[in-house]
Structure 1
Amino acid sequence: MEVSVAILLLGVLLVLLWLLDKKKSSRTRGLPPGPLALPLVGNLPQLDKHVPFKSLLKLSETYGPVMTVHLGWQRAVVLVGYEAVKEALVDQADDFTGRMQMPFLVKATRGYGLGISNGERWRQLRRFTLTTLRDFGMGRKGMEAWIQEESKHMMAHIDTYKATPFDPSFLLSCSVSNVICSLVFGQRFDYADADFLRLLSIISEILQFVASPLGQLYNIFPWLIERLPGCQHKVFGHMEVVRSFINEKIQQHQDSMEPGTPRDYIDCFLNRIQQEKRNEATEFFYENLQATVMNLFMAGTETSSSTIRYALSVFIKHPEVQEKMQQEIDAVIGRERCVNMEDRKFMPFTDAVIHEVQRFLDIVPFSIPHCTLRDVPFRGYTIPKGTIIVPLLHSVLKDETQWADPRTFNPQHFLDHNGNFKKNPAFMPFSSGKRACVGESLARMELFIFLVSLLQHFSFSCPGGPDSVDLTPEYSSFVNMPRRHQLVAMPR
């Protein structure tokens, strides 16, 4: 009797699986080709958990530049190479503006804010954020002065090491974060401020988790990872610490602000909340303010500081590059005057090196995944609504059809035969199209002013010499992080 029941249940299960597969096939007919997916885990066993983007590149050799893979049970279309990524994000920008609802970010932000929003919420918050950042000088003089001032604090702190070896990681995080703090909170923090240092340490731990294999598994199987022991529970506790810090700053602004004279991003948002309090369709309310400030504060710290740290490693590894940059700096600026953004147009080699650092590091090889909000025709395929879109930025920044020698660090990628700076449309470290990084202009300004200021005042080396520096990133599932090196800053 028990055997008969078991056979009957097995038969019912097989019928249900057949019906589900048939329904799935009818919905996915017309999708790009891709490898056979296993039940539940999809194509995850075929991906290297430490360098999954390399596994996807390998699969694209078989299935082409537009292919379907399954990340667990989730269907994803991966775009490989400059042409495919540009065609989607730029030429068909309206079709690919959706943002994947990554479970970690949804829980961390409680579903609010600019980072993971779609539709009208995304349009309102992005337009407001870009306008406000411009008003406070992103790409203009106001922000430039803040970065120049912060660079002076950085130089003074480096001087305290007196040409002895040190790890610059935390110092660079402090400096870059202070620029964001000036913009968002209207204040900077001392490098010895214990609360500020603890907050930066917490943010670093959160981002390390997000970039780790476990963090990516959380986004694929949140219902499972939530129920298992592990550091994910500690990370969400860290998120509450960050949230409390932001809530405290917002409350301080509410208590002290004067309508009509905004001091920073929070004041501008609070003013907008008051202006639209009778608008039922508004996206300007407290939860969106809290989450968007969290987006700006966390995203604006680690990526830029890591890129600067990687650049210093490049200068040590290639002392001839450092020396040539310093010659250009001395000729255009000298060693006394503060660098400004106007100087960049007269410093093509320096500009080219900074671009090449970003291209070569390739800090976010996947970009942040997009999502189709409706059925989308693309290259003769039909990508169903709700499909994850993965623009493989690594494949763009290393595309052999766009770069002369993509696997080698070479500033000539951004210089013409006369030594003038030249743009390359395949330079997409900030992604491209309507979902490109909202802080791109700020990041570019930070990289230029901080790096030029550092080389203006110091020459960099390390105890083990250039050969001891490994420029190969310390790979993780989602982010390419530069390796840590002790360095020596010798005053010039």
Structure 2
Amino acid sequence: MSLLEDFVAYLFSSPTTLLGVVALLLTLFLVSKSFTSQEFRREPPGPRPLPLLGNLLQLDLKRPYKTLCELSKKHGSVFTVYFGTNKVVVLAGYKAVKEALVSNAEEFGDRDIAPIFYDLNEGHGILFANGESWKELRRFAITTLKDFGMGKRLSEEKVLEECHHLIQVIEKHEGKPFDTTRPLNHATSNIISAIVYGSRFEYNDPRFKNMVRRANESIRIVGSAPIQLYNMFPRMVGWIKDRQLILKNLAMTVRDVKELIIHLKETLDPHICRGLVDCFLIRKQKEEDSCVMDTHYNENNLIFTVTNLFSAGTDTTATTLRWGLLLMAKYPHIQDQVQEELSRVIGSRQVQVDDRKNLPYTDAVIHETQRLANIVPMAIPHKTSQDVTFQGFFIKKGTTVLPLLTSVLADESEWESPNSFNPSHFLDKEGKCIRRDAFMPFSAGRRACLGESLARMELFLFFTSLLQHFRFTPPPGVTEDELDLTPAVGFTLNPSPHELCAVSRQ
């Protein structure tokens, strides 16, 4: 079925949409006029949009980042596309993305909140918020995470403890094929849980398992074609099943988070913070006692800050680790070099963060995994906070901006072999691990990932600990060449479903 047929099916599969269709068709002339009107100021070029549909029929809604990369070859590093009637400016390539997010951080620093993300957060929390509330909560989160050792020795101990639990779970498979998704999701989720709630969960805890499952399911569905259509035409297709499932997952997660917060509040000691929730509750009480007006420390901001950190802290790191293990199984000669370096430098003792500088090849492999995995190809959309002239083009205040991170991580002018798994991208002639400016898996500027240092620590410690203990191979009867590197559809790019064998090296 063609994309147009899919679109028509979505519009007419429910009788309640017919009036909406008629109303929108009546506005067709006005919409068309707005598309074709000429601005006095030069705006970014792009493919000609259709009335109402925009450039919808040119986009692969399952993998829109691929279409946008192709369009950038024709229209340049700054161009315009229409998602339905929504005007979007796309930034492609390292130079354009860096100039916008870093050199013009203020102008490109607002968050564009698509309808599905407003449904999920209603402007609360950190990821999908703007203004003073976002600024205050981001400052609070960064300060609190640092206080709990984000990227430092205290969080290192939490990660090393979780490595031990993860290794035990994988050992139970006794070298037989298994799906790496659940154990890695549980392990990474427990790190952010320990920091947010003050304690980890057992992997068989039913509430914990359901919270992790729902978070990953919702992140996957948010990247689906039906949700892309909903974001373009929210009044017409709000009834779609994918949206209803996301809202159902949200309701159950909010219920669970509230119960966890109530328990922490009942056992709260104002003089001892066990985690971020305690710090928030104490700050909330102080502002209430001081009669602070319009405080940002309220229940909604607490709930959605927690759910934002839980989802982001689980999915991205676990997804990157899954790619890392899959790549080791697909390229055994690279796995050999990693394990040789680990054996030579570390031996049988536990790897520590301080060992990173003495493991340049392993560090380069982790960096190259992040680059090639490209797990957030379009970043989270930005929005201009004011009118801005950028690279000679006028971009109006409030315009949605997509920093195409995939075009940075595979920029042919920055990487020697952008489409291959090549750890040499991060090694100099002496074999030392080097920094590359175009390495932007965490985005950049005001909206860069606030948990970057923690994620980097987790990736290093989990990856090295697993490679110390196990040899990762394809299942029996599957060759390395048959391991598929095609990403699954989703808001973040997970590997396609697969199993690996983890053979003990001990």
TM-score band, normalised by the shorter chain? over 0.9
Q: Which residue of 2 aligns with 1:339?
A: 351
CA distance in 2, matches of 1:163, 1:22: 61
Aligned partners of 2:220 and 2:489 also within 8 Å: no
CA–CA distance in structure 2, aligned partners of residues 187 and 479 of structure 1: 27
Distance 2:305 2:170 in 1: 32
Residue 322 (structure 1) aligns with: 335
Q: Give the conservation status (yes or no) of the 8 Å contact 2:330–2:474.
A: no
Q: Is 1:206 equivalent to 2:218 in the alignment? A: yes
Post-superposition shift, 1:105?
Answer: 1.5
In structure 1, C-alpha distance between the alignment counterparts of 2:241 and 2:65, rounded to whole Å? 25
Query: Is the 1:474–1:483 contact (alpha carbons within 8 Å) kept by the matching residues of 2?
Result: yes
Instruction: Give the corresponding residue for 1:407.
Output: 419
Alignment of 1:176 onto 2:188: yes
**Could you tell me which residue of structure 1 aligns to residue 260 of structure 2?**
249
1:367 and 1:390 in contact (8 A); partners too: yes
Which residue of structure 2 aligns with residue 286 of structure 1? 299
Match for residue 50 of structure 2? 38
1:145-184 equivalence runs, <5 A: 145-184=157-196
Distance, in Å, in 1 between the alignment partners of 2:474 and 2:451 is 32
Shift of 1:436: 0.4
Superposed counterparts of 1:367-378, under 5 Å: 367-378=379-390
Match of 2:482 among 468, 473, 486: 468
Alpha-carbon distance, 1:373 to partner: 1.8
Give, in angstroms, the shift of residue 195 of structure 1. Answer: 2.4
Amino acid at match of 2:391: R
User: Does 1:439 pair with 2:439?
Assistant: no
Residue number in structure 1 paired with 2:493? 480
Equivalent runs, 1:70-149 vs 2, <5 Å: 70-149=82-161
1:96·1:371 contact (CA, 8 Å) conserved in 2? yes
Residue 21 of structure 1, CA deviation: 2.5
* Counterpart for residue 10 of structure 1: none
Q: Is the 8 A contact 1:82 1:395 kept in 2?
A: yes
Residues 432 and 156 of structure 1, relative CA distance in 2, 3 Å threshold: same
Tell me the equivalent position of 1:195.
Answer: 207
**Does structure 2 conserve the Cα–Cα contact (< 8 Å) formed by 1:414 and 1:421?**
yes
Work out whether 1:267 is the aligned partner of 2:281.
no
Asked whether the equivalents of residues 397 and 406 of structure 1 are also in contact (C-alpha less than 8 Å), the reply is: yes
2:133–2:296 CA contact under 8 A, matched in 1:
yes
Q: CA deviation at 1:218?
A: 2.1
Partner residue, 1:302: 315
Give TM-score, length-normalised by structure 2.
0.91
Q: Report the equivalent of 1:451.
A: 463
* CA distance in 1: counterparts of 2:240 and 2:167, whole angstroms: 43
The offset of 1:474, in angstroms, is 2.3
More displaced 10-residue stretch of structure 1: 230-239 or 342-351: 230-239
3-state secondary structure, aligned to 2:110 = coil
Q: Which amino acid is the alignment partner of residue 173 of structure 1? A: N
Contact 1:340 1:449 in 2 (8 A): yes
* Matched residue type, 1:479: T
Match of 1:348?
360
**CA displacement at 1:19 relative to structure 2:** 9.3
What is the rounded CA distance, in whole Å, between the counterparts of 2:489 and 2:28 in structure 1? 41
Query: What residue in structure 1 maps to residue 5 of structure 2?
Result: none
Could you list the per-position Cα deviations for residues 209-230 of structure 1 after superposition, in whole angstroms to 9, with x for gaps in the alignment?
112111222222222221x342
Secondary structure at 1:96 match in 2: coil
Deviation track 1:370-391 (CA, whole Å, cap 9, x = no partner) reads 0012111211221111100000
Question: Residue in 2 aligned with 1:379?
Answer: 391
1:251 and 1:217 map into 2 onto residues whose CA distance is: 38
Distance 1:233 1:27, change over 3 A: farther
Question: Shift of residue 407 of structure 1?
Answer: 0.7
- Is residue 240 from structure 1 mapped to residue 251 from structure 2 by the alignment? yes
How far off its partner does 1:327 sit? 1.2
The Cα shift of 1:44 comes to 1.2
Is the contact between residue 27 and residue 384 of structure 1 (CA under 8 Å) also seen in structure 2?
no
CA displacement at 1:469 relative to structure 2: 1.0
5+ residue gaps, structure 1, are 1-12
Deviations 1:42-76 (A, max 9, x none): 11111112221121122112211100111111111
Report which stretch shifted further, 283-292 or 213-222.
Answer: 213-222
What secondary structure does 2:305 align onto? helix
In 2 relative to 1, CA 435–28 (structure 1 residues): closer, same or farther, beyond 3 Å? farther
Task: Provide the C-alpha distance between the structure 2 equivalents of 1:220 and 1:364, rounded to a whole number of angstroms.
Answer: 20
Secondary structure (helix, strand or coil) at the match of 2:297 reads: coil
Question: d(CA) in 2 for partners of 1:405 and 1:395?
Answer: 13
| Cα separation, partners in 2 of 1:259 and 1:356, compared to 1, 3 Å | same
Residue matched to 1:231: 242
Contact in 2 for aligned 1:328/1:350 (Cα 8 Å): yes
Q: 1:75 to 1:22 in 2, by over 3 A?
A: closer
Q: TM-score, normalised by structure 1?
A: 0.93
Number of aligned residue pairs: give it. 477
Paired residue type of 2:248: G
2:498 aligned counterpart, secondary structure? coil
Identity level (%): 44
The change in CA–CA distance for 1:19 and 1:99 in structure 2 (over 3 A counts) is closer
Q: How far does residue 472 in structure 1 lie from its aligned partner after superposition?
A: 2.5
SS in 2 for 1:351: helix
Residue 70 of structure 2: which of 58, 65, 72 is its match?
58
Distance 2:26 2:252 in 1: 48
Quote how far apart the aligned CAs of 1:428 are: 0.6
What does residue 7 of structure 1 align with? none
Q: Is the 8 A contact 2:410 2:418 kept in 1?
A: yes
Given the superposition, is the C-alpha separation of residues 240 and 418 from structure 1 closer, same or farther in structure 2, using an over 3 Å criterion?
Answer: same
